[in-house]
Amino acid sequence: MSEVLNHFLKYVSYDTESKEDVEEFPSTESQRVLAEVLAEELRAMHAQDVRVDQNSYVYATIPATMDKKVPVIGFIAHMDTAPAYSGANVHPQIVKQYDGGDILMNQETGLTMKAADFPDLLKYKGQDIVTTDGTTLLGADDKAGVAEIMTMAEYLLAHPEIPHGTIRIGFTPDEEVGHGADLFDVAGFAADAAYTVDGGGLGELEYENFNAASAKVDIHGSSIHPGSSKGKMRNAILMSMEFHNMLPVFENPMYTEGYEGFFHLDSMRGSVEEAHLDYIIRDFDEKKFAEKKEFITRVAAYLNDRYGKGTVNLELKESYRNMKEIIEPNIYLIDIAKAAMEEIGIEPIVTPIRGGTDGARLSYMGLPCPNLCTGGYNFHGKYEFIPVQSMEKVVELLLKIVEKFAER
């Protein structure tokens, strides 16, 4: 069994699901457990400056093996898994030499991953594919990234004859709930630049991401017995439906792709008296992003005019910004990654992230940080999978990037 697969199977056995709207940091105690496991492994490899801080960020250094001064490079991944689907009691299974057909994931339930529904599978015919049993997510987002960085570190620390500069390693909690970079010690990390290893299929290389905001909408109604409610009742559920229906129908995730932004209704609950809607707002273009925020603000104002001041309370909060503005002046990071991919037989796929990553916020905190692939697909759900050979190839990519930095 490959080293990176060994690491990956070990890490997915830990339930590190993060939680929304929790004041504690990290949001779940289980993340602390994996943080300590990773730190112990790094110490056993003889990494230097290994520490886990009070917020469960893990930091370590692979010391330079050459006198020549080259940029200090970092590699970062997150330890938590998404709260969108259970990450407890993961039962990974390995489909050896995938034959190109459908994959039966669970014998008892008959759950099947169909190649017709997930055509990316067909790219990996003949390879070994890790899936779930359909009862949980797999956790490749981002334990594959963690495993790939750890395997790279293990190799370099076991081979001090390989020339390279100083390398920093960082593992973060709570990325999936938008807080992975909140307390990252950029100054202590002391890298000139870094890469997050948190992307998708093999070859993905990303330095553009959404500008992002959240919108929390509280709608206050008035409940009156329906038999005597004429002119008196204000149904918060109906007003919430009205609110949503005033947003652009086709600026919805199910209709968008590429550089197109959206309003996404993430949750909705309520009664006649009170209703609550949670949205995320996304756009790559800063002007269009501002227009989206202004539009939803006008919808709230219109309903307040119609139904009375205080009927609708809108709370907008920015989450992260497009890292393109920071990376373009440091485009050498993309050039190095592309060249490294090409040299080891990976076709670079430079694509925008239709989401976010720790690297976006870290870039604005002073650490330019584009995103590399992990090799995984279908994150945050039961159909998640990752080819073993892709994980091995990403380890090779990280080593090649280290080599190219040593040549600078």
**Shared domain check, 193 and 72:** yes
Handedness of CA 75, 81, 84, 90 (dihedral sign): positive
Tens digit of each residue's pLDDT (9 = 90 or more) over 127-160: 999 999 999 999 999 999 999 999 999 999 999 9
CB atoms inside a 10 Å sphere around CB 105: 21
Helix orientation angle between 140-158 and 30-44, rounded to the nearest 10 degrees? 20
Give the domain range for residue 286: 211-320
Q: Which of 175, 208, 251, 392 is catalytic?
A: 175
* pLDDT score for 1: 55
**Shared domain check, 258 and 220:** yes
Q: How much is the pTM?
A: 0.89
Side-chain-side CA neighbours of 66 within 13 Å: the count stands at: 19
Q: Which of 80, 154, 206, 392 is catalytic?
A: 80
Domain boundary at 289, 320, 351, which? 320
Active site residue 80: yes
* pLDDT score for 260: 96
**Shared domain check, 200 and 89:** yes
Inter-residue contact 149 to 393 (CB < 8 Å) = no
**Shared domain check, 191 and 58:** yes
CATH of the domain at 85: 3.40.630.10
**Number of domains within the chain:** 2
**Shared domain check, 301 and 232:** yes
**Shared domain check, 216 and 100:** no
* pLDDT score for 178: 86
**Distance (Å, rounded) from C-alpha 121 to C-alpha 280?**
30
* pLDDT score for 357: 82
Active site residue 128: no
Give which of 167, 327, 303, 176 is closest to 247, Cα–Cα. 303
141 annotated ligand binder: yes
Tens digit of each residue's pLDDT (9 = 90 or more) over 259-288: 999 999 999 999 999 999 999 999 999 999
Strands 349-350 and 274-283: unpaired
* pLDDT score for 287: 97
**Distance (Å, rounded) from C-alpha 97 to C-alpha 369?**
35
Tens digit of each residue's pLDDT (9 = 90 or more) over 188-217: 999 999 999 999 999 999 999 999 999 999
**Shared domain check, 386 and 301:** no
198 annotated ligand binder: yes
User: What is the number of residues in the chain?
Assistant: 408
**Shared domain check, 144 and 224:** no
380 annotated ligand binder: yes
Here the tokens at position 107 are 């014998």
Residues of the chain with pLDDT under 70: 1
**Shared domain check, 138 and 254:** no
